[in-house]
């Protein structure tokens, strides 16, 4: 069995409307199809990793409500270990309102709910599982203080990946305890102040993050793939050419797939290629978790590492 992947993060219910375009401020827009689906960056990454064969433990906080119960049951159906999930009687589960335009681009507003109440005290009974993780995967839809506590105070034997989304200023006390960081172009620019308009800009931003203490930097570039800075070497890993239907959750699929590949001891370059392939497949389908591919989907490509 591959090394365990512990993912600590958010769980939401996504409420999605497809529309001709993303509305401007003050604009009322008649949309098309409405549907609800499970989401949240942490949950998306956990489902992606589980479908790709990862040995996944997911830790989050939901409300003790219908959305929370449905989410936990869905995780179990995916084969995810849920014994450390906390349910809050006082705070509702998180929800996200998503508009997807005809080009597949999206606009998202999140009400964090119980995600914003996931504190270090909720993680104490999971300390052993966290410490024994082969891969620890974090995001920023839970309190930053909790992320900092996890990164700096838990004893770990594996690698820690931080997907810095949604982007916010990160203290050095977080960055110096992170092994791999995976921002997209916008997040990398917000973290470094360096505009990313081309490969040179992405390389400069990656070096800035590396110089702040992160061993490996992966900047995801959408349809252009991902820029990897590892062992002082740059590699531009291409994405598979596809027609995007919905980009919601693509970054989460990338991170879940990356965690799986690294838990299986793949070379970093091959792990990033694996993650790019998974993300490319995901944008051809609607939804976040619903679009997460299975391992057979990726291995259908004979050129996959």
Angstrom distance (rounded) from CA 109 to CA 207? 31
Is 101 known to be catalytic? Answer: no
**Residue 103: Cβ within 10 Å count:** 12
Angstrom distance (rounded) from CA 62 to CA 300? 36
Nearest residue to 10 via CA among 56, 61, 50: 61
User: Which residue in the list 14, 88, 122, 252 is annotated as catalytic?
Assistant: 252
**Maximum distance among all alpha carbons in the chain?**
53
Q: Establish whether the linkage from the previous residue to 166 is cis, with ω within 30° of 0.
A: yes
What b-and-e string marks burial along 202-227, b requiring 16 or more CB atoms within 10 Å of the CB? bbebbbbbbebebebbbbbbeeebbb
The answer for residues whose C-beta is within 8 angstroms of residue 107's C-beta and 6 or more apart is 22, 98, 99
DSSP codes joined into one string, 225-244 = -EEEEETTEEEEEPPPP---
Question: What is the SS3 assignment for 26?
Answer: coil
Task: Specify whether the CB–CB gap between 237 and 258 falls below 8 A.
Answer: no
Task: Specify whether the CB–CB gap between 182 and 218 falls below 8 A.
Answer: yes
The catalytic residue positions are 252
């Amino acid at each position: 069995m591959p090394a365990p992947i512990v993912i600590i993060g958010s769980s939401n219910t996504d409420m999605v409307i497809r529309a001709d375009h993303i509305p401007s401020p003050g604009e009322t827009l008649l949309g098309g199809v409405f549907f609800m689906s499970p989401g949240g960056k942490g949950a998306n990454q956990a489902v992606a990793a589980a479908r790709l064969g990862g040995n996944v433990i997911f830790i989050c906080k939901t409300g003790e409500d219908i959305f929370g119960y449905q989410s936990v049951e869905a995780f179990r159906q995916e084969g995810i270990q849920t014994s450390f999930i906390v349910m809050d009687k006082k705070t509702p589960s998180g929800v996200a309102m998503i508009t997807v335009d005809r080009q597949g681009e999206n606009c998202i507003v999140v009400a964090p709910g119980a995600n914003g109440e996931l504190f270090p005290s909720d993680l104490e009974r999971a300390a052993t599982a966290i410490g024994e993780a082969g891969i620890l995967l974090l995001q920023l839809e839970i309190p930053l203080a909790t992320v900092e506590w996890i990164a700096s105070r838990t004893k770990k034997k594996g690698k820690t990946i931080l997907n810095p989304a949604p982007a916010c200023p990160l203290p050095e006390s977080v960055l110096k305890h992170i092994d791999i960081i995976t921002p997209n172009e916008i997040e990398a620019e917000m973290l470094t102040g360096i505009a990313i308009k081309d490969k040179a800009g992405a390389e400069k931003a990656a070096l800035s993050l590396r110089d702040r203490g992160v061993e490996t930097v992966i900047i995801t570039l959408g349809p252009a793939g991902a820029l990897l800075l590892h062992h002082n070497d740059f590699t531009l890993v291409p994405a598979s050419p596809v027609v995007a239907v919905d980009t919601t959750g693509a970054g989460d699929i990338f991170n879940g797939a990356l965690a799986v590949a690294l838990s299986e001891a793949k070379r970093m370059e091959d792990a990033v290629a694996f993650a790019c392939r998974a993300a490319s497949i995901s944008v051809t389908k609607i939804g976040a978790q619903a679009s997460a591919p299975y391992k057979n989907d990726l291995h259908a490509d004979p050129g996959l590492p």
